[in-house]
A and B are shown apart, each in its own frame.
Chain A
Amino acid sequence: MSSLGVARQVGAVLLAIALAPLFMGWIAQCRAWLQNRSAPPLFLPWRMLRKLFWKDAALAEHASALFRATPYVLFGTMVLAAAIIPSVVLDLPFVLVADAIALVGLFATARVFIALAAMDIGTAFGTLGARREMMIGFLAEPALLMVFFNAFLISGSTALPTIAARLAAPPFVIYPSLAFAGIAFVMVLLAENARIPIDNPATHLELTMIHEAMVLEYSARHLALVEWASALKLFNYACIGFALFVPWGLASQHASPGTLLLAVVALVLKLALAGAALAVVETVSAKLRIFRAPEFLAMAFLLAVLGLLVHLLLGA
Chain B
Amino acid sequence: MPAPTLTAQLLNGFAAGLLLISFSMLSQRRTRALITLFAWQGAILFASTSLVAYSAGLRHLWYSAALTLVLKVFLLPFILLRLVRRLEAQWDTETLLNIPTTMLLGVGLVIFAFGLAQPISALATTITRNTLGIALAIILLAFLMMITRRKAVTQVVGFLAMENGLFFAATSATYGMPMVVELGIALDVLVGVLILGIFFFQIREQFESLDLHHLETLKED
Interface size on B, residues (CB 8 A): 27
**What 0/1 pattern do residues 92 to 132 of B give for CB contact below 8 A with A?**
00000011100110110011001000000000000000110
Q: Please tell me if B209 contacts chain A, counting CB pairs below 8 Å.
A: no
Smallest beta-carbon distance A157→chain B, Å: 16
Choose from A173, A179, A312 the contact partner of B16 (Cβ within 8 Å): A179
In the bound complex, CA of A9 to CA of B115 (Å): 46
Specify which chain B residues have a CB less than 8 angstroms from the CB of A299 in the assembled complex: 27, 99-100, 103
Choose from B15, B23, B98, B133 the contact partner of A306 (Cβ within 8 Å): B23
Binds A, one of B5-13, B31-39, B175-183: B5-13
Asked if residues B100 and A314 are in contact (CB atoms below 8 Å), the reply is no
Asked if residues B9 and A309 are in contact (CB atoms below 8 Å), the reply is no
In the bound complex, CA of A179 to CA of B10 (Å): 13
Asked if residues A174 and B27 are in contact (CB atoms below 8 Å), the reply is no
* CB interface residues, A 294-308, toward B, < 8 Å: 294-295, 298-299, 302-303, 305-306
In the bound complex, CA of A312 to CA of B9 (Å): 14
In the bound complex, CA of A183 to CA of B130 (Å): 23
Q: State the total of A-B contacts with C-beta under 8 angstroms.
A: 65
State whether A298 and B103 are in contact (beta carbons under 8 Å apart), knowing that A306-B19, A310-B16, A313-B133 are contacts in the complex.
yes
In the bound complex, CA of A298 to CA of B105 (Å): 13
Choose from A180, A183, A295, A309 the contact partner of B99 (Cβ within 8 Å): A295
For residue A312, which residue of chain B has the nearest CB? Answer: B114
Q: Please tell me if B20 contacts chain A, counting CB pairs below 8 Å.
A: yes
Q: Please tell me if A41 contacts chain B, counting CB pairs below 8 Å.
A: no
In the bound complex, CA of A312 to CA of B13 (Å): 14
Q: Please tell me if A70 contacts chain B, counting CB pairs below 8 Å.
A: no
Smallest beta-carbon distance B120→chain A, Å: 13
Choose from A174, A302, A309 the contact partner of B13 (Cβ within 8 Å): A174
* CB interface residues, A 267-316, toward B, < 8 Å: 294-295, 298-299, 302-303, 305-306, 309-310, 312-315
Q: Please tell me if A127 contacts chain B, counting CB pairs below 8 Å.
A: no
Asked if residues B16 and A177 are in contact (CB atoms below 8 Å), the reply is yes
Q: Please tell me if A171 contacts chain B, counting CB pairs below 8 Å.
A: yes
Specify which chain A residues have a CB less than 8 angstroms from the CB of B133 in the assembled complex: 313
In the bound complex, CA of A293 to CA of B126 (Å): 43
State whether A313 and B100 are in contact (beta carbons under 8 Å apart), knowing that A171-B3, A303-B23, A305-B107 are contacts in the complex.
no
Specify which chain A residues have a CB less than 8 angstroms from the CB of B16 in the assembled complex: 176-177, 179-180, 310, 314
Choose from A179, A295, A312, A313 the contact partner of B17 (Cβ within 8 Å): A179
Asked if residues A176 and B15 are in contact (CB atoms below 8 Å), the reply is yes
Q: Please tell me if B140 contacts chain A, counting CB pairs below 8 Å.
A: no
Specify which chain B residues have a CB less than 8 angstroms from the CB of A183 in the assembled complex: 20
Smallest beta-carbon distance B196→chain A, Å: 29
Decide if the interface of chain A is mainly helix, strand, loop or mixed.
helix
Specify which chain A residues have a CB less than 8 angstroms from the CB of B130 in the assembled complex: 313-314
In the bound complex, CA of A314 to CA of B16 (Å): 9
Choose from A174, A294, A298, A312 the contact partner of B12 (Cβ within 8 Å): A174
Specify which chain A residues have a CB less than 8 angstroms from the CB of B100 in the assembled complex: 294-295, 298-299, 302
In the bound complex, CA of A271 to CA of B42 (Å): 34
State whether A180 and B20 are in contact (beta carbons under 8 Å apart), knowing that A171-B3, A309-B107, A314-B131 are contacts in the complex.
yes
In the bound complex, CA of A6 to CA of B114 (Å): 47
In the bound complex, CA of A303 to CA of B23 (Å): 8
Smallest beta-carbon distance A168→chain B, Å: 14
In the bound complex, CA of A315 to CA of B100 (Å): 26
Asked if residues A174 and B9 are in contact (CB atoms below 8 Å), the reply is yes
Smallest beta-carbon distance A260→chain B, Å: 30
In the bound complex, CA of A314 to CA of B131 (Å): 7
* CB interface residues, B 72-103, toward A, < 8 Å: 98-100, 103
**What 0/1 pattern do residues 25 to 66 of A give for CB contact below 8 A with B?**
000000000000000000000000000000000000000000
Q: Please tell me if B145 contacts chain A, counting CB pairs below 8 Å.
A: no
Smallest beta-carbon distance B183→chain A, Å: 31
Specify which chain B residues have a CB less than 8 angstroms from the CB of A313 in the assembled complex: 114, 130, 133-134
The 10 closest A-B pairs by CB, nearest first: A176-B16, A298-B100, A174-B9, A314-B12, A302-B103, A174-B13, A176-B13, A313-B114, A176-B12, A314-B130
**Chain B interface (Cβ < 8 Å from any Cβ of A):** 3-4, 9-10, 12-13, 15-17, 19-20, 23, 27, 98-100, 103-104, 106-107, 110-111, 114, 130-131, 133-134
Question: Please, could you name 29 A-B residue pairs with CB atoms under 8 Å apart, sorted by A?
Answer: A174-B12, A174-B13, A176-B12, A176-B15, A176-B16, A177-B16, A179-B13, A179-B16, A180-B16, A294-B100, A295-B98, A295-B99, A298-B99, A298-B103, A299-B27, A302-B100, A302-B106, A306-B19, A306-B20, A306-B23, A306-B110, A309-B107, A310-B16, A310-B134, A313-B134, A314-B12, A314-B15, A314-B131, A315-B12
